[in-house]
Structure formats: C-alpha cells, structure tokens
Amino acid sequence: MPYATVEVNPEVFMEHKGVKVYHVYTNNSWDDGPEERLYTLSIDGEPGYNDFFINDLPGWSEEEEDRIAHTKTSSRAVSHLLDEYYKKLIAAALDSGELKVPA
C-alpha cells in the first residue's frame, strides 16, 4: 500500500505572553513522539537553532523533578505535574531574558 509523508507543525507545548513554545520530535517524526525535556521557540529556520533543554534553565532541579516523578498518583497526573513545573521554568526564563525570542 502506498503512503505519503506530510509535513506538519509541531504541537504547541505552551504560550507565555504571546510567545509559543513547541515540542521537538524524536527523529523529526510525529509518530516517534516528542522528545523529553527538549523544546523550541521557533518552527522556522535551522533545526536545533532555537531548541533548549529544560534542565539547562535556571531554577531546574533534579531533586524537584524526581520528587514530582515519584508522587504517589497516576502516571497521567505525574505527567501533568511535570508539564506544569516545566511551564513555570520556561515562563521564568522568558521573563528574565534567559530564553531569547527569535526575531
């Protein structure tokens, strides 16, 4: 059976003060799912140019991430709590200028 590859925009992870933050996908493939802890501020231009790892941001703590990850609740709830933690870190980095919005 023939198939076609279609380019799609990545999913928006969050928006903060008009700045969109996108997921980055494993092997650039939607089917492989988003990378863990890797995001981008731009879907235009060279891959990787505006990418950043959450654990490189000020305030990130392995201990806090582990605490959240080992919360005694459902995996879906843990995933939501981690997303909220990441969003807080990204918003703070955007506000402080640590993350630069592409021109």
The structural domain count of the chain equals 1
Task: Establish if 2 belongs to a structural domain.
Answer: no
Full domain range(s) for residue 90? 12-96
* Residue recorded with tokens 């996108």: 22
Task: Establish if 57 belongs to a structural domain.
Answer: yes
Judged by phi (left if over 0) then psi (alpha if -120 to 50, else beta), residue 46 lies in beta
Tell me the per-residue pLDDT of 63-88, one tens digit each, with 9 for 90 and over.
999 999 998 889 999 999 999 999 99
Percent of the chain with pLDDT over 90: 58
- Return d(Cα 89, Cα 56) in angstroms, integer: 10
**Is the C-alpha dihedral spanning 20, 80, 30, 8 positive or negative?**
negative
Picking from 33, 27, 90, 15, the residue whose alpha carbon sits closest to that of residue 58 is: 90
What pTM does this model have?
0.86
Number of Cβ within a 10 Å radius of residue 50: 20
